[in-house]
Amino acid sequence: MNILIEGGNLNSIAEGTRNIALSYAKKFKERGHNVVVLTKQIDRIRNKRYGKFEIIDGIKFYRWFNYEDKLYNFLVERNGKVGRFLYKVCRIMSYWGFYRTYTKITKKEKIEVMNIFVKGFRPRVYLKFLDMFSNFPIIMTLLGDPEFNMRKYNLKKEFSNLDLIIIPSKTIYNHLKKFGVERTRNIPYGIDTKKFKPIKKSNRKIKRIYCSRYYNHLPEVLRALEKVSKETEFELILEKKVRDDLKKYGFDEKFLGKIAKRVEYIGYLKDINKFLGEVDLVIDLHNEGKFLTCASPPAKILEAMATGKVVLSTNVSEISEFITDGKNGFLAEKNSSEEIYRKIKGAMESKGDIGRKARETILKNFDLNKSVIIYEKIYKELIKNENSDNT
């Protein structure tokens, strides 16, 4: 099959949500398919312009001009209505670049099926264009919930031009069905369990805690960790952007130095699988009672579980689909410092069974090799139906 994968911002080496589309592209290539990736010029590697491509791991990467997102803060937030108008002009130019590249690819590569991996929402004009200029099935793998756009869009109409919507989360699947969205299937996306796998334990005695995500709950996390530090020594791993949030919430790096034996800022990771293999606890918190707008389920949680790590997250419906508190991970009922402290303490005192069961959960329900086979069957069925309709 000639497969086109479109996912917006895709790097050659990516992590988290963006890595999902690339994982499928690489796996399809391994299974003998011709795979083409269409992504934004903003993520270019060798300054290629749209219409040209580069080959990475046997996959053709086409790129289209897209810089308006980098101009958003400058144009919209600083220059009011005039800036917003200029931003819209830039956005129209950006989509025009996409359309030109898209039509070239579909003809040159003889595309038979297209799969869009997206966590947010695409305008109806974009989906309508694809339907108008395509004679092949178009599938969307909806990795997040479009809840934040529901007031603006009629979901039933917005998705009407798609041949199929694949929704990994049961919660979001049931949610969209209530809005009358048709042609949907609930299929968990896959994690590369050969890439994300347990590594040999080192002789290191001090626990390493990676705070992956916390939304607006950094103060509660730090207060919980302060309490933990009085009982157990640990190393704390954070992303670079946390430094700004520390000031925002009235903390400083001296405070971190008091509670943690060592503080490490990791920034962007190329080898996230190796990194996850060297931590003991992953904290990935979300807002209670709200739908997730990141990948659902969150990719980083699944990747950590695949490496056999203990994960602490929030007890929201999308995450409780695959984590059972105290069995294959830990869930905080509410993101209070006391609740987070109790869960961190339980996680640090837990034995290897939690991580082993976490790995088993991924192998059973989120194995990329199994998922790709399901996707292939869907592609072939849709292509067959499309061809029969055209004859």
Q: Give tens-digit pLDDT for 154-169.
A: 777 777 888 999 999 9
Q: Is residue 195 part of a domain?
A: no
Q: Are residues 261 and 359 in the same domain?
A: yes
Residue 121 pLDDT grade (very low, low, confident, very high; cuts 50, 70, 90): low
Q: Are residues 259 and 180 in the same domain?
A: no
Q: Are residues 163 and 246 in the same domain?
A: no
- Portion of the chain with pLDDT greater than 90, in percent: 42
Q: What is the pLDDT of residues 187-235, one digit of tens each?
A: 999 999 998 999 877 666 789 999 988 888 999 999 999 999 999 999 9
Q: 3-state DSSP: the chain helix, strand, coil percent, rounded to 5?
A: 45, 20, 35
In the chain, the number of structural domains is 2
Q: Which two tokens stand for residue 149?
A: 């756009």
> Is the pLDDT reported for residue 315 higher than 60?
yes
Q: Are residues 69 and 150 in the same domain?
A: yes
pTM of the model: 0.87
Amino acid at 194: K
CA 51 to centroid of chain Cα atoms: 27
Q: Is residue 321 part of a domain?
A: yes
Q: What separation in angstroms does the CA of 158 have from each of 38, 154, 226?
A: 22, 6, 47
Domain extent at residue 148: 2-190+367-390
Mean pLDDT of all residues belonging to the chain: 83
Rounded to 10 deg, the angle between the 337-349 and 218-229 helix axes is 50
Q: Which residue has the higher pLDDT, 119 or 139?
A: 139
Q: Are residues 119 and 219 in the same domain?
A: no
Q: Is residue 269 part of a domain?
A: yes
For residue 284, give the CATH number of its domain: 3.40.50.2000
2 three-class SS:
strand
Q: For residues 234 and 31, what is the distance between their CA atoms, to the nearest angstrom?
A: 43
Q: Are residues 137 and 236 in the same domain?
A: no
Amino acid at 232: T
